[in-house]
Structure 1
Amino acid sequence: MKYTLRQLEIFLAAAHHQSISKAAQELAMSQSAASESLRTLEAQFDLQLFDRAGKSLRLNDLGKQLRVRAEKLIDHARELESGFQQHSDIGRLTIGATLSIGNYLTIPLIAEFMKQHPSADIQLDVANTSSIVAKVRNFDLDIGLIEGERHEPDLDVIPWQEDHLVVFCNADHPLAQKGMMTEEDILNASWILREPGSGTRQTFDWAMHTVLSQLTIALELQHTEAIKRAVEANLGIGCLSALTLSDAFRRGNLVPLDVPGHNFRRFLYFILHKEKYRSAGISQWIDHCRRFQGHINELGSG
């Protein structure tokens, strides 16, 4: 065999960081050794995997093709190594979650998973849907948990659980006593919403598609807590996942509003790259999340 697994690890780390120095740091080796290993790999097969501009590396088309196959091979090798060592068969698992899922569901999910698999090495990345999708597509994450449907040719999008958004206002808002919004109320309201690119915003836009162009959007904020604080300050009407609102509704400082004629139901999804090796860790994480349905329903109806 003309290549080593270490060479493939260096190749993949360099592809991830687009920097040989950062790749070397991740792999706890000298920059010169990492650079020499990568040059040797390319020379052995008389090919070029990166376009180089100074200290920056960028995968070329051939590098992108081979990266997918190298990722699968390294995943297989790591699982085999775990079996040889007779440790947990979970190993390292990098999980991405959108903001609502990451801030309100993923931590208890991981805590329970770690009780069952104490040797597992779990890494969590919380960002909006567009960011998580990009990182899964780029093999920076093993699996993503997202809100809202995405159609990506490189990704498997697997339904997980049902969720729904809730429109809400300050407890002192005139609509709070009414408990609902008419079409006139919808058009007259100042809306405080998640930013474009988030799954929550995608669902809201679809639910309101018949009047979307007529809405007054006062603020677009990236964080759910910021939206809740803005609504508490009576700056407008909000719309977020039920998962994020149960505590505020119990305290009474925010009030849910019914919006007849608009469907705010959606699914939460798992996303994986189609070429990603489905390790035992990934499979067990998906099964674990599916068993968590009862807790999700409890949060959403709180």
Structure 2
Amino acid sequence: MNFKKLKVFTTVCDCGSMSGAAKKLYMTQPAVSQAILELEEELDVHLFDRINKKLLLTYPGEVLLEYARRILVLVEEAQSTMKDIANMNTGKLRIGASTTIGTYLLPEIIRTFGQKFKNIDIPFAIDNTGVIEKMLLENSIDIGLVEGPIHSKEIIVKPYMDDELFIICSKNHPWAARKRIGPGTISEQNIIIREQGSGTREVFENTMSKHNIPYSIKHVLNNTEAIKKAVEANIGVSVVSEIAIKEEIKSGRLVKINLEGVRFLRKFNIIYHKDKYHSKLFEEFLRHLCSGNF
């Protein structure tokens, strides 16, 4: 049983004759009759009675007609929806972002993209880089924006923008008056840092290890805003992305500290699975990201 035979069947029912259906479908009458015969043989039922030269539906025919109409409506709806998706009139793109990007960049990215494509559904998830990488591998999201290193060879990594982490302290901390410190002084401080799997933590630890600088982690928090509040309360010092502290630095609530001879540099990256199909919506979102118009 296929779509074409169901279409022929419903058209015969609507027209009340094989000849009428043939004319409407631009087919020959024998071709219409053959399609009905094949359908009857395939289903092992009799669909029409021929009484007084009229075609009348049998009970199996009535049941099939109900299903056939529902099937054809669904097919037409599917075709219409696929057309809308192809023309970017509707669609869905699942986005994942690591915490810093998700908190400070992603909302504006989604807002401006949504202005261009108003009927597109854009669900998004925010978590650390490790979780976002796992979600991509499990096909829970279509595309990701992360600040930490990616470890799977199944994922394509495209550099997006540069970022720099800075050590921060409270305005009441002794470092606040100096704004530049030597590497040796770090070991004396309580470090407040993100959890394992965080891109910020991985960059911090890798950089400190590269320069052989000892440090002591005192508190682990999985939220950048919580870290900033803790530092502001002078509980310890931390390292966070420059984009996360603009307001606090401007208002003087936090102080940005330079570590002599050391910079915490990293890339924000666009990531997606190497086998991911690039739909028009997917490509359009990539273009939006690279345009920087947000």
Q: TM-score, normalised by structure 2?
A: 0.70
- Structure 1 residues 249 and 147, CA gap change in structure 2 (3 angstroms): same
Query: How far apart are the structure 1 equivalents of 2:219 and 2:79?
Result: 47
Contact 1:95 1:122 in 2 (8 A): yes
Matches within 5 A, 1:196-207: 196-207=196-207
Aligned to 1:237: 237
- Structure 1 residues 85 and 106, CA gap change in structure 2 (3 angstroms): closer
Cα deviation, residue 93, structure 1: 0.3
Aligned to 2:74: none
Aligned to 1:36: none
Instruction: Kindly provide the amino acid, as one letter, of the partner of residue 290 in structure 1.
Output: C
Aligned to 1:292: 292
> 2:261 aligned with 1:264, yes or no?
no
> 2:175 aligned with 1:175, yes or no?
yes
Matches within 5 A, 1:221-232: 221-232=221-232
Contact 1:82 1:91 in 2 (8 A): no
CA RMSD of superposed structures (Å): 2.3
Cα deviation, residue 212, structure 1: 6.3
- Structure 1 residues 216 and 121, CA gap change in structure 2 (3 angstroms): same
SS class of match (1:257):
strand
Contact 1:89 1:281 in 2 (8 A): no
Query: How far apart are the structure 2 equivalents of 1:185 and 1:138?
Result: 43
Cα deviation, residue 90, structure 1: 5.9
Cα deviation, residue 86, structure 1: 6.9
Aligned to 2:107: 107
Aligned to 1:17: none
SS class of match (2:261):
coil
> 2:250 aligned with 1:255, yes or no?
no
Give identity over the alignment, percent.
32
* Deviation per residue, 1:17-42 (Å, 9 max, x gap): xxxxxxxxxxxxxxxxxxxxxxxxxx
Q: Which runs of 5+ in 2 are unaligned?
A: 3-77
Contact 2:208 2:214 in 1 (8 A): no
Contact 1:99 1:126 in 2 (8 A): yes
Instruction: Kindly provide the amino acid, as one letter, of the partner of residue 228 in structure 2.
Output: K
Contact 1:79 1:279 in 2 (8 A): no
Regions of 4+ moved over 6 Å: none
Query: How far apart are the structure 2 equivalents of 1:90 and 1:272?
Result: 22
- Structure 1 residues 89 and 195, CA gap change in structure 2 (3 angstroms): same
> 2:155 aligned with 1:165, yes or no?
no
Higher mean Cα deviation, 171-180 or 83-92?
83-92
Q: TM-score, normalised by structure 1?
A: 0.68
SS class of match (1:258):
strand
Contact 1:79 1:91 in 2 (8 A): no
Query: How far apart are the structure 2 equivalents of 1:80 and 1:165?
Result: 48
Aligned to 1:195: 195
* Deviation per residue, 1:95-126 (Å, 9 max, x gap): 00011101111001100001111011110111
Cα deviation, residue 83, structure 1: 2.4
Aligned to 2:47: none
- Structure 1 residues 260 and 152, CA gap change in structure 2 (3 angstroms): same
- Structure 1 residues 208 and 80, CA gap change in structure 2 (3 angstroms): farther
Query: How far apart are the structure 1 equivalents of 2:147 and 2:229?
Result: 22
- Structure 1 residues 79 and 88, CA gap change in structure 2 (3 angstroms): farther
Query: How far apart are the structure 2 equivalents of 1:149 and 1:262?
Result: 19
Higher mean Cα deviation, 87-96 or 272-281?
87-96
Aligned positions, number: 219
Cα deviation, residue 211, structure 1: 5.9
> 2:143 aligned with 1:121, yes or no?
no
Instruction: Kindly provide the amino acid, as one letter, of the partner of residue 214 in structure 2.
Output: Q
